[in-house]
Amino acid sequence: MWALKKAYYRTYQFIMGLAMKCIPWIEPIIIDGTDSINKLPAVIKEQGITSVLVVTDPGLMGIHLLDSLFETLNSAGIKYYLYDQVQPNPTIDNIEAALKIYNANNCQAIIAFGGGSPMDCAKVTGARVARPNRSVTQMRGLFKVILPAVKMGSLLPPTLFAVPTTAGTGSETTIAAVVSDPQTHEKYPITDPVIRPQYAVLDPLLTVGLPPHITSTTGLDALAHAVESYIGKFYNNEDTRKKAVLAVEIIFKNIEKAYNNGKDIDARGKMLLASHYAGYSFTRGGVGYVHGIGHNLGGMYGVPHGLAMSVILPYVLEWYGEAAHKPLAKLADVAGVSLPGMSQPQKAGSFIDAIKALNGRMNIPNKFDCIKNEDIPTIAERALSECNPTYPVPKIMNKEECMAVIRSIQT
């Protein structure tokens, strides 16, 4: 039976890989460079937009990071309405609250300002604007926003302007948003090309104030995106592989510079670019069990996404074993952590060890103390429900194997 399931999963992934080639991939327009946030209102005004919803979180409001944006919006004559209560793992309630503000003020577009959580909240809020008769839960999974549009002739979501303040999620270029359901303690993705932002502002000055531990874990999140995309099957292409390799190279050269000196604008800018490349890559190439397990640790215990990716990544790469040796060997060369004469398995092991060492130097833990034994079967079931058959992983994992990996990251 397991052999038949694996055959079905691979067939599904192969067909999805072919379908990927038929999707109209429209890349976000990039506004980048120091102080590029101040260019955004003019761009919005050029689109004939006079009223926007700004989606962010309390922390960014508390440090007044949005003040210059608000000033330039006012100067440009653009009305803005604020939803600033996004939680670290955005919930259905967050989305519905943002939607209420959008509708009550007849907004025409959305600005997502922050890390992955405000981005995800804004993306799904836009989807709810376009599909008012579909709940967030009904949009769970693949293409549950665009397909009703095809059937019903519905409108596309409003224009989304994405302003990342962390160099990690790559959400400004992805077609995915992750939502938490506090009732069931589930965390799941909504994936659809129509929720992809149309504009992305990459301003390194917005990341200067990030604390070291956020710099490190969001940077490792970007690394996880690049690695999982690169080692996956069927979905990726020459361009996504190239972007993944560039992301890995840039991250290994710059993440510790940004971690050790938050005011290093060059390193901050390069990490933003690496995050963007990694997001571009996994938007087509997909992710894998690192994300599946991580999402559910977030849903069950509120573990921040970047931290989950940082800790889980080397354990899952080790579990893949021989199935991932060849691509990981290539990444070891790119990252500069291989030695002449090493075999592919040795290079792959060197790359995994380099990630562990990187985590250690940036004070990232190697295990979690929040995982309860009685929760492990549920976490594994939910992770595999997310991953199989959708994610094009190097090797397919069953429940017992998934539970073993989860136990390996448990203190």
| Distance of alpha carbon 371 from alpha carbon 315, whole angstroms | 16
Crossing angle of helices 212-231 and 305-320, rounded to 10°: 40
Pairing of strands 79-83, 109-114: unpaired
* Cα atoms in the Cβ-side hemisphere of radius 13 Å centred on 81: 18
∠ at Cα 64 (100, 161), nearest 5°? 50
State the average pLDDT over residues 109-113. Answer: 98
Helices assigned H by DSSP within 81-145: 92-104, 116-130
Arithmetic mean of pLDDT over the chain: 95
| Distance of alpha carbon 225 from alpha carbon 199, whole angstroms | 21
Q: What does the pLDDT read at residue 154? A: 57
> In which residue are the tokens 């074993």 written?
321
State the average pLDDT over residues 193-218. Answer: 95
Neighbours of 100 (CB within 10 A): 12
pTM equals 0.91
List the end-to-end C-alpha distance of the chain, in Å, as a whole number.
34
Q: Which residues, 6+ apart, have CB-to-CB distance to 296 below 8 Å? A: 186, 187, 379, 382, 383, 386
| Distance of alpha carbon 265 from alpha carbon 257, whole angstroms | 10
> What are 213-226's pLDDT values in tens digits?
999 999 999 999 99
| Distance of alpha carbon 351 from alpha carbon 344, whole angstroms | 11
Say if CB 52 and CB 81 are below 8 A apart: yes
Q: Which residues, 6+ apart, have CB-to-CB distance to 156 below 8 Å? A: 130, 149, 194
Nearest to 214 by CA among 310, 94, 279: 310
Say if CB 344 and CB 327 are below 8 A apart: no
| Distance of alpha carbon 275 from alpha carbon 278, whole angstroms | 5
Q: What does the pLDDT read at residue 152? A: 47
Q: What does the pLDDT read at residue 214? A: 95
pLDDT: is 144 or 354 the higher one?
354
State the average pLDDT over residues 70-79. Answer: 97
* Cα atoms in the Cβ-side hemisphere of radius 13 Å centred on 335: 27
Provide the pLDDT confidence category of residue 24 given band limits of 50, 70 and 90: confident
∠ at Cα 81 (80, 82), nearest 5°? 120
> In which residue are the tokens 């327009």 written?
29
Domains and CATH numbers, the chain: 2-16+210-408 (1.20.1090.10), 33-207 (3.40.50.1970)
List phi, psi (to 5°) of 263: -95, 10
| Distance of alpha carbon 11 from alpha carbon 15, whole angstroms | 6
pLDDT: is 191 or 150 the higher one?
191
| Distance of alpha carbon 118 from alpha carbon 106, whole angstroms | 20
Q: What does the pLDDT read at residue 361? A: 98
Provide the pLDDT confidence category of residue 149 given band limits of 50, 70 and 90: low
State the average pLDDT over residues 179-187. Answer: 89
Distance of CA 214 to the CA centre of its chain: 15
Q: What does the pLDDT read at residue 84? A: 98
> What are 305-352's pLDDT values in tens digits?
999 999 999 999 999 999 999 999 999 999 999 999 999 999 999 999
Q: Sheet holding 176-181: strands in order across?
A: 141-142, 186-191, 176-181
8-state DSSP, 173 = G
Q: What does the pLDDT read at residue 283? A: 92
> What are 88-108's pLDDT values in tens digits?
889 999 999 999 999 999 999
| Distance of alpha carbon 70 from alpha carbon 41, whole angstroms | 9
8-state DSSP, 137 = G
Neighbours of 64 (CB within 10 A): 9
| Distance of alpha carbon 295 from alpha carbon 387, whole angstroms | 11
Nearest to 219 by CA among 290, 329, 155, 307: 307
